[in-house]
Amino acid sequence: MDSSSRAGKVVLAAVVLVLALSMVHPAGADRDVRVALVHLPPSIYTDEEGKPAGLFVEILRDIAEREGWNLIFVPGTLSESWERLAAGEIDLMMSISPTPEREKIYDFSHERALSVWSQVYAPPGSGINTILDLDGKRVAVLRGDVNAQIFRDYADKFGITPTLVEYDTLDELFSKTASGGADAVVAFNIAGKESADKYGLQETNILFNPTALGFAVPKGRNQDILSAIDRYIVAGKSDDASFYTRTMQKWFGMKASWTVPYYLWWGLGGVIALVVLFVVMSLVLKREVNRKTAEISRQNEELRSEIARRVVVENELLRKNEEIQAAYEEMKAIEEELRANYVELGKTRQTLTKARKKLSLLNTVTFQEIQNGIFSLNGLIALAQEVMSGTEGKKYLDKAQEMVRSLENTLRFTRNYQELGLSQPAWQDVNSVFLYAISHLDCLGISRTVQLDGLEIYADPLLEEVFYEMMKKVTQDGNNTDSVRLTYRKEKEGISILVDANGPGIPEGEKERIFEEDYIRQVGSGLFLSREILSMTGISIRETGEPGKGTRFEIFVPEGRYRFRGEERH
């Protein structure tokens, strides 16, 4: 056998080996991502077949498929998972809440995936109705859970000393309490409700610590993972056909049917039409360029003849050229100066950005502390009102509660107002924003009718706050609202979004005052801020309901600021 034949066989064997290796190890996954698998249903848990399941697991799997990640789930308790994350033994944790202490050790996603709050659960007939009823009681908490520290601080503010009993799993937490191992249990509401029903415990009136659940990675590492997650959640919230939105609706029990949007077919046809138009225009432009080139060549010949005959004009042109050259040198020097100023401005901007991030973190911590303090103070005033019922001191307590409510409204206004205009406006689906807004309110007893035909508007990212404040206004205590209708109406110069709710309505004298800043001390700052948020993109709002028959908010969106899915922008 000659050397060329042997070389050919070697090459063939190498090709076969490469193909075999590619079949054994698919190239679809760019990197392995180790993820903590704890038992926190319905966010994260292991199903009957021993497979990871839950709301966060489904979302993360969709992200992994898009990013080319190979997810490796690492089972363990919550406290074990925190230790592994700090040591770099795992890359990611899900369904967790940031705190100032944790942010020193871990990095968290910026976009909230789910809003939750802490709640106390107890056996039926326990007599636990207020925070004071837990003094000296045994309260079960999950080891490594933020609820343990938050509840301890919350109890200190009321001067009570419950005994915290730690367990490693959610099932232990509720089963031990049901069997008498503890008097009550503290957990996030999304995980606590299902476990409470399972073990026969009841929700109490003790709620605190409104927060958000998201993702975490080791400090200074895996920033690309957090960035991919943030991008996914932002895109998912703005698209009611996204997997994220469908998953949220699925776990919240809302019916949804999803098909391939017909506007994609129109978009594909539009792209093809543009390509054809581009080819035709290229041919037309090429012919026009050739004609213009010939004409310019002819004109150049005439110009050369003219220049040859007019030496005086040539000398004048030379002098002008020298002046232009001098001007060019001057402009070049100015350009260099501007470039240097631009570089300096960039450094200043980076410094300001860092300072702003630190200030924002300080504001967040401060707002949280003040909010918890106000929450505790409200509780104390309510308790004092019960003790001093019918006495002269109750009048002063009522006034004190009004002042605390005004302070709470002002704090919420300040926190939201500092975020106004910080992010670029974006196209947002009105129906999806409305659903996210009412998810923060108790609207279970209110029927909703939505007829928007896929309406989208170009507005500030705080648009969700607008609908939240409107629904908060129409569902406040005493309104007896049981139905809300969300529709739109074409106008001459734009479109109006109509939010109709039955109930007593708003008196004529207050229809405009509810949007003014001085109304904050009476009913809160939301509607004033709502008008400010909408005005960022030229949108206006007013109240036109008939007193005694109901409330109607009209949001007017001008031309160019609204569109329907599958159509051109208006």
List, for residues 49-79, the tens digit of each pLDDT value: 989 999 999 999 999 999 999 999 999 998 9
Residue reference for tokens 């009321």: 158
Residue 20 has pLDDT above 70, yes or no: no
CB contact set of 274 (below 8 Å; sequence gap of 6+): none
**Cβ–Cβ under 8 Å, residues 489 and 495:** yes
pLDDT at residue 409 in the model: 63
Residue 510 has pLDDT above 60, yes or no: yes
The two structure tokens encoding residue 95: 């369904």
CATH 3.30.565.10 given to domain 426-564 = yes
Rounded Cα distance, 213 and 209, in Å: 12
Where b means 16+ CB within 10 Å and e means fewer, 236-274 reads: bbbbbbbbbbbbbbebeeeeeeeeeeeeeeeeeeeeeee
Judging by beta carbons within 10 Å of its beta carbon (0-12, 13-18, 19+), is residue 22 exposed, middle or buried?
Answer: exposed
Task: Please indicate whether residue 392 or residue 62 has the higher confidence score (pLDDT).
Answer: 62
Of the pLDDT bands very low, low, confident and very high (cuts 50, 70, 90), residue 275 is: very low
Judging by beta carbons within 10 Å of its beta carbon (0-12, 13-18, 19+), is residue 378 exposed, middle or buried?
Answer: middle
pTM of the prediction?
Answer: 0.41
Rounded Cα distance, 210 and 468, in Å: 16
**Cβ–Cβ under 8 Å, residues 227 and 221:** no
Q: Are strands 483-490 and 494-501 parallel, antiparallel or unpaired?
A: antiparallel
pLDDT at residue 426 in the model: 93
Amino acid at 563: R
Residue 478 has pLDDT above 80, yes or no: no
The two structure tokens encoding residue 517: 């800043």
Mean pLDDT for the stretch of residues 497-518: 87
Q: SS3 string of 459-507?
A: ECCCHHHHHHHHHHHHCCCCCCCCEEEEEEEECCCEEEEEEEECCCCCC
- Helix (H, G, I), strand (E, B), or coil: what is residue 112? coil
- Helix (H, G, I), strand (E, B), or coil: what is residue 259? coil
Residue reference for tokens 């409104």: 210
pLDDT in tens, 242-271: 999 898 888 875 433 333 333 333 443 554
DSSP 310: -
- Residue 37 CB coordination number (10 Å): 23
Task: Please indicate whether residue 412 or residue 289 has the higher confidence score (pLDDT).
Answer: 289
Rounded Cα distance, 135 and 147, in Å: 17
**List of E strands, 47-201:** 52-53, 69-75, 93-96, 106-108, 114-122, 138-142, 163-167, 184-188
pLDDT in tens, 229-249: 999 999 998 898 899 989 888
Cα 459 from chain centroid?
A: 14
**List of E strands, 25-68:** 31-37, 45-46, 52-53
pLDDT in tens, 422-454: 678 999 999 999 999 888 887 788 889 999 999
Residue 274 has pLDDT above 90, yes or no: no
pLDDT at residue 432 in the model: 94
pLDDT at residue 356 in the model: 58
pLDDT in tens, 90-135: 999 998 889 899 999 999 999 888 888 899 999 999 899 999 999 9
Percentage above 90 pLDDT, the chain: 37
Of the pLDDT bands very low, low, confident and very high (cuts 50, 70, 90), residue 219 is: very high
pLDDT in tens, 521-534: 555 556 888 888 89
Residue reference for tokens 């300001």: 352
DSSP 538: T
